[in-house]
Structure 1
Amino acid sequence: MNEPDLNLLIALDALITERSVAGAARRLGLSTSAMSRTLGRLREATGDPLLVRAGRLMVLTPRAGAIRERARYAANEARTLLRPAQTELNIASLTQTFTLRVSDGFIEAFGPALIAEVATQAPGVLLRFTPKPEKSDLPLREGRVDLEIGVAGKSMGPEIRLQGLFRDRFVGVVREGHPLAGAKRVTLEQYIAWGHVVASRRGLMHGPVDEGLAQAGVSRKIATVVPGFPVALAVARATDLVALVPASILLSPSAREGMVHFELPVKTRTITISQLWHPRLEVDPAHRWLRGVVLQVCRRLMP
């Protein structure tokens, strides 16, 4: 029995990830015709079409979907095994791109300081920030993301590594000149007398403050729901609506501009912001350095 061509493993991972012959070709630096021939060899080796056309798009077959994570893991393991071992890491000469999955609010609050610190220590390192439209450990498990930063949800698998960065709390925010902006302490009655803008990726109508309001026997009037905290601030800046945001987002000068924040009249839970990564990167020297920089910057800004 002939041994399978293990070069096909990298191509399989690229095709399944990109779901496109042209996209996989670009990823591997091959021509589209060469990748098309490679897909033919993969189909022959696996006995499955793997990618099939659905209108103008290509979709995975059930077999390809079932082996997607295993293919990604195997390809990453192969790359690690064939990469020279790093016993000592020269940070100053490191040339690498790290992909971080973070919220827009984190980029506004911590991005500039993080980028500056990385540039000082390792000028050859590029930070690529990508959005997180939902909580999922799939990007980490598939190797598409090096680090995720945010609140760890139940969707994260038990193997995902986690380190707390700082604790955050929610505050109310209104525009300068708003009647609540001059209050020494915003009362419960004052807080619920105004309309509110809610930030929710999933379009939820309630936020962290509503449980406390319910316990007090009152509720607030929701005027609009937006997909993120930066947008909520923009809406509050241009209206009389009250926004609810994490205190950390106000580290950004652009977020604070024209705004006044206040402590909420009811208690809300604090949240722990963490950095998360896949265990295959646990002892990687470059990744350990990156995690150290993120921790250093976050704790400097949010002691």
Structure 2
Amino acid sequence: MGADFFSMLLMPTLAARIAGAAPRVSLRFLDSARGDVSRLLQEDEIDVALERPLEVSDWVSSTPLFHSPFAIIAAEDNAAIRQAGTAEGEPLPIELFCELPHILRSIDGSMSGATDEALRKIGRTRRVSLTLPHFQAVALAVANGNHLAAVPRQFAVWAARTLPLVIFEPPLPIAVPEIRMYWHARHDDESPHRWVRDQILEAIASLGFVESGATENAGA
């Protein structure tokens, strides 16, 4: 289970790896909105969850996957940015960043996130005018309007390959989340389960999300 970030960027690679090694294995990927991770792991509705740091039960094991810094995406023809003269890859001016409307990926309808917390620390605010439950929907809406969005850098690079988007640096430090893989501790030493976890780690490393391959740390 995880965000559409993983269904788009990870699952094609992971599915190909597993099909080559174990062609009779079937994979099912569920959206993060499915529900509480601890409950779903306890009831074996999911085998693993790929998520940002979560408050989970003591019996949930986890291992780090990669860090996911934020990048700012905007439409190529965003008139306000063009008028400001900010080049792609540069930080957006803080005034412009706060002035333009924002889109937030939110699975529960919340209108604030890590960017808003970072802005509060410097006495600033932004206007979130739209929330959407999927990163791909955020990217499509940004590409067709005058909004900004703070999204994981790995996703921003992927989306800009197929959509008329440009990528900028945030104008202020935003906390960088560590994406982790979670599973029930009863499966720590279960060979088939561990094999699938290893396949996920290797697939993520092959995508270049991390400088070096992650290693499992059960119970971390």
Q: Normalised by the size of structure 2, how large is the TM-score? A: 0.84
Q: Report the Cα distance in structure 2 between the residues aligned to 1:254 and 1:116, rounded to whole angstroms.
A: 24
* 2:41 corresponds to which of 140, 143, 149: 140
* 2:114 corresponds to which of 187, 202, 208: 208
Structure 1: which 4+ aligned runs deviate by more than 4 Å?
Answer: 253-256
1:267 counterpart residue number: 173
**SS at structure 2 position matched to 1:260:** strand
* 1:162 corresponds to which of 62, 76, 89: 62
Alignment of 1:2-13 (within 5 A): none
Alignment-mate amino acid for residue 177 of structure 1: D
Per-residue deviation, 1:174: 0.8
Alignment of 1:77-156 (within 5 A): 101-133=1-33, 134-154=35-55, 156=56
Unaligned runs of 5+ in 2: 211-220
Per-residue deviation, 1:124: 1.8
How many residues of Structure 1 are paired with residues of Structure 2 in the alignment? 202
**SS at structure 1 position matched to 2:27:** strand
Q: Report the Cα distance in structure 1 between the residues aligned to 2:106 and 2:68, rounded to whole angstroms.
A: 17
Deviations 1:179-207 (A, max 9, x none): 43762321111211211112211211112
2:160 and 2:166 in contact (8 A); partners too: no
How has the CA–CA distance of structure 1 residues 265 and 253 changed in structure 2, closer, same or farther, with 3 Å as cutoff? closer
Per-residue deviation, 1:105: 1.6
Q: Report the Cα distance in structure 2 between the residues aligned to 1:291 and 1:261, rounded to whole angstroms.
A: 32
Per-residue deviation, 1:215: 2.3
**SS at structure 2 position matched to 1:130:** coil
1:250 and 1:256 in contact (8 A); partners too: no
Q: Report which of the two structures shows the higher radius of gyration computed on alpha carbons.
A: 1
How has the CA–CA distance of structure 1 residues 132 and 284 changed in structure 2, closer, same or farther, with 3 Å as cutoff? same
1:183 counterpart residue number: 86
How has the CA–CA distance of structure 1 residues 168 and 267 changed in structure 2, closer, same or farther, with 3 Å as cutoff? same
Alignment-mate amino acid for residue 122 of structure 1: A
2:163 counterpart residue number: 257
Per-residue deviation, 1:270: 0.7
Per-residue deviation, 1:229: 2.1
How has the CA–CA distance of structure 1 residues 255 and 211 changed in structure 2, closer, same or farther, with 3 Å as cutoff? farther
Alignment-mate amino acid for residue 151 of structure 2: V
Deviations 1:53-97 (A, max 9, x none): xxxxxxxxxxxxxxxxxxxxxxxxxxxxxxxxxxxxxxxxxxxxx
Alignment-mate amino acid for residue 124 of structure 2: V
Q: Report the Cα distance in structure 2 between the residues aligned to 1:172 and 1:275, rounded to whole angstroms.
A: 25
Unaligned runs of 5+ in 1: 1-100
* 1:289 corresponds to which of 195, 213, 217: 195
How has the CA–CA distance of structure 1 residues 280 and 118 changed in structure 2, closer, same or farther, with 3 Å as cutoff? same
Q: Report the Cα distance in structure 1 between the residues aligned to 2:199 and 2:157, rounded to whole angstroms.
A: 18
Q: Kindly, what percent of the aligned residue pairs are identical?
A: 25
Alignment-mate amino acid for residue 128 of structure 1: R
Please tell me the root mean square deviation across aligned C-alpha atoms, in Å: 1.9
**SS at structure 1 position matched to 2:57:** coil
Deviations 1:132-165 (A, max 9, x none): 21443111101111111112311x1111110111
Alignment of 1:237-252 (within 5 A): 237-250=143-156, 252=158
Q: Report the Cα distance in structure 2 between the residues aligned to 1:183 and 1:229, rounded to whole angstroms.
A: 24
Alignment-mate amino acid for residue 167 of structure 1: H
2:116 and 2:125 in contact (8 A); partners too: yes
**SS at structure 1 position matched to 2:77:** coil
Q: Report the Cα distance in structure 1 between the residues aligned to 2:152 and 2:36, rounded to whole angstroms.
A: 18
2:52 and 2:178 in contact (8 A); partners too: yes
1:212 and 1:267 in contact (8 A); partners too: yes
